[in-house]
Amino acid sequence: MNPSRTIVIATVLLTHILGLQQPAEAGKILYQECFTALGDMADGFKASLEKDGLFFLWGGYSVIEPVKEGQKCRPTGMKGAPPDLFRAASAKGTNAITAALKKNVPINAHMVLSSIRNNSALDPDPMKTTFTLKGNDIGTKFGKPETREKGDPVIDITNGGSSVMTLLNIVAQINNSQDPLDIDSFFEPDGTLVTVTPSLLPIDLLPGDTAEFIFPLDGSPNWSFQYTYTSEGDTFVNLLASDVAVPVPNSFGLFIAGIVLIMILRRHASRMPGRTAAAKPAAWFVDPNRL
């Protein structure tokens, strides 16, 4: 291959790999969900995610009581306060969590679970996601939507329950002042309201049905998506939020491309006249007939 053409190809390869980018916090989403202790007080809590789901950070907040039907559960602490019932983390992620509560959740009282996870829904099995008392499962009420982010910012809501789910209200916001992925500060959306499509509500979802929603980011560093729905006679308010993925260079790709380019340039240089050991200076030839 012509050396000049080889250099051009190598340069194009390096430029292409420089353009390959990866999200800094790919797939990490904040979920806020409210739980009610039924039948007894609770001194513990456990939860599992669907298959391949991972918790990275999680915390429990006690809630201002009473919680009116259709209203969001709000923590008892000041705005931005850390979790007061429990807080834990797993760098590699874990599919299931257990926690001892720092104070009991009374019967019919509430708790907000705030967790950073890999875009996965809770396992609705009452033996896997529930309050506990002295290690024994107790009655627990929570919504069962399977909600996931499907690319910035497309949200899918699937009815994971056994009865009709009705979506009543949806609020999407961008440019929130808080970082959604900071588990040590309870996230309260306060950004600019944006239009969600489709906007016509209510929407009834049969078991297994999915509704897809989209809204504009407009250059925002973060987004939030809060929705109110009814299921099995109760009304719930859930929230998803995340930072917008920030592109970063593909380090491994840059490393490989750099090595390839250096090897090609060295090989080309070794073939240039006057740059190889086999190259010899041209000999002067004298024609005796011209002397």
| 278: in domain | no
What pLDDT, in 10s, does the model give residues 121-146?
999 999 999 999 999 999 999 998 88
118 and 220 within one domain: yes
pLDDT at res. 124:
92
Residue scoring higher pLDDT (149 or 94): 94
> Does residue 82 have a cis peptide bond before it, meaning omega lies within 30 degrees of 0?
no
194-198, 210-214, 283-287: the lowest-pLDDT one = 283-287
195 and 265 within one domain: no
100 and 29 within one domain: yes
| 285: in domain | no
Among 246, 261, 283, identify where a domain stops: 246
pLDDT at res. 55:
98
78 and 219 within one domain: yes
Residue scoring higher pLDDT (110 or 279): 110
Q: Is the pLDDT of residue 76 over 50?
A: yes
pLDDT at res. 271:
57
pLDDT at res. 36:
96
The tokens describing 9, both together, are 């190809």
| 262: in domain | yes
Q: Is the pLDDT of residue 149 over 60?
A: yes
* 142-171 as b/e: b if 16+ CB within 10 A: bbbbbbbbeeebebebbbbbeeebebeebe
Determine the structural domain holding residue 262 and report its residue range. Answer: 1-20+250-270
66 and 173 within one domain: yes
Amino acid present at 13:
L
Rounded distance between C-alpha atoms, residue 220 and residue 227, angstroms: 20
Residue 258 pLDDT class (50, 70, 90 cuts) = low
| 276: in domain | no
Q: Is the pLDDT of residue 252 over 60?
A: no
What pLDDT, in 10s, does the model give residues 89-112?
999 999 999 999 999 999 999 999
Residue 267 pLDDT class (50, 70, 90 cuts) = low
213 and 182 within one domain: yes
Residue 15 pLDDT class (50, 70, 90 cuts) = very low
Domain tally, the chain: 2
197 and 72 within one domain: yes
* Residue in this structure with the two tokens 């790709």, named with its chain if needed: 253
| 104: in domain | yes
| 284: in domain | no
49 and 72 within one domain: yes
Q: What is the pTM assigned to this prediction?
A: 0.76
| 275: in domain | no
- 82 backbone dihedrals φ, ψ, rounded to 5°: -75, 170
266 and 147 within one domain: no
8 and 54 within one domain: no
255 and 122 within one domain: no
pLDDT at res. 233:
86
Rounded distance between C-alpha atoms, residue 106 and residue 87, angstroms: 19
Rounded distance between C-alpha atoms, residue 144 and residue 162, angstroms: 9
pLDDT at res. 260:
52
| 264: in domain | yes
89 and 9 within one domain: no
pLDDT at res. 121:
94
